[in-house]
Structure 1
Amino acid sequence: MTARTRLSRQLCAAVTAALSGARVRPPEAGRPLWNAFQRLNATRTYHMAGPNPISFAEVEAFARLMRLPLEPWHVTILMEMDAAWLAGAQRAKVPEGVKTLPPVSKHAISAQLFDLVTG
């Protein structure tokens, strides 16, 4: 296992632990990536079904504005951290008594249903 792979796994594990409410200390070698991810995550957009992934354009703009020299492998790790965050956010437990919709409808899509949803 390469050092980059190990760093990616450690940072993704830290993201998952942070989502569960644990106090996290990311690895020292990954501190700049951890800080960049936290700042990008704070500006995350949402849609009706939940959070949107962080885009490459957002990473590029952030790196340019902050004058942060990111290598391609840095961006890869940031995207892996984002995937871990999104997976953890989907698994988040809903408090008791809160009504939720199933993630997939039991009904097939029809032209009328599509028109109803999209207007």
Structure 2
Amino acid sequence: MVDLDWLTERLCEVLRWHMAKPDRASDPLAPDVPFAGERVWSIFLALNAARTGSGFGPNPITHPEIDAWSRLYREPVWPFELDIIRALDGAFLKASLQKSGQADAPEVNLRPFSLDVFDAVFGA
């Protein structure tokens, strides 16, 4: 049995290495994708190749995109694979932010939303 936490972290390490050193893909020191993760790695690469973006950087891979890939290729994406793909996507987005010079993601306002604020902003 494969430890899914280990596999997820290992695949994220491989991704981070390749993003940090894109010109050294054939380097003998490049980390290998574990055999148990080859399928989910190839699914992530296919989804990543079709990734959309905006003026603010790459967009996350959405559940509908994963579902569409699964239906088009008639390959089920198992729940544990979905979890790994989401982790890889998070690692990709974080590494992309760091490459663009932003150390952290933009700050998110965590104040609770109220209808008074909505009325004030949108004049409803």
Structure 1 residues 48 and 93: CA distance shift in structure 2, 3 A: closer
Name 1:99's counterpart in structure 2: none
The Cα shift of 1:68 comes to 1.3
1:54 positional shift: 0.2
Alignment of 1:79-90 (within 5 A): 79-90=86-97
Query: Which residue number corresponds to residue 74 of structure 1?
Result: 81
Cα-Cα RMSD: 2.0
Q: Percent identity?
A: 31
1:47-67 CA-to-partner distances (Å, cap 9, x unmatched) read: 111110000000011011111
CA distance in 1, matches of 2:75, 2:7: 19
Match of 2:62 among 33, 42, 55: 55
| TM-fit CA distance, 1:15 | 0.9
C-alpha separation in 2, matches of 1:85 and 1:57: 19
Equivalent residue, structure 1, for 2:14 = 14
TM-score by length of 1: 0.73
User: Where does structure 2 lack aligned partners over 5 or more consecutive residues?
Assistant: 26-30, 107-124
Q: Distance in 2 between matches of 1:48 and 1:78?
A: 24
| CA positional deviation for 1:80 | 0.3
Q: How many residues align?
A: 96
Task: Name the CA distance, whole Å, in 2 between partners of 1:63 and 1:10.
Answer: 24
Scaled by the length of structure 2, the TM-score of the pair is 0.70
Q: Aligned partners of 1:43 and 1:55: how far apart in 2? A: 11
What corresponds to 2:122 in structure 1?
none
Letter in 1 for 2:53: Y
Q: How far off is 1:25 after superposition?
A: 2.1
Question: What is the one-letter code of the residue matched to 2:59?
Answer: N
Deviation at 1:6, TM superposition (A): 0.7
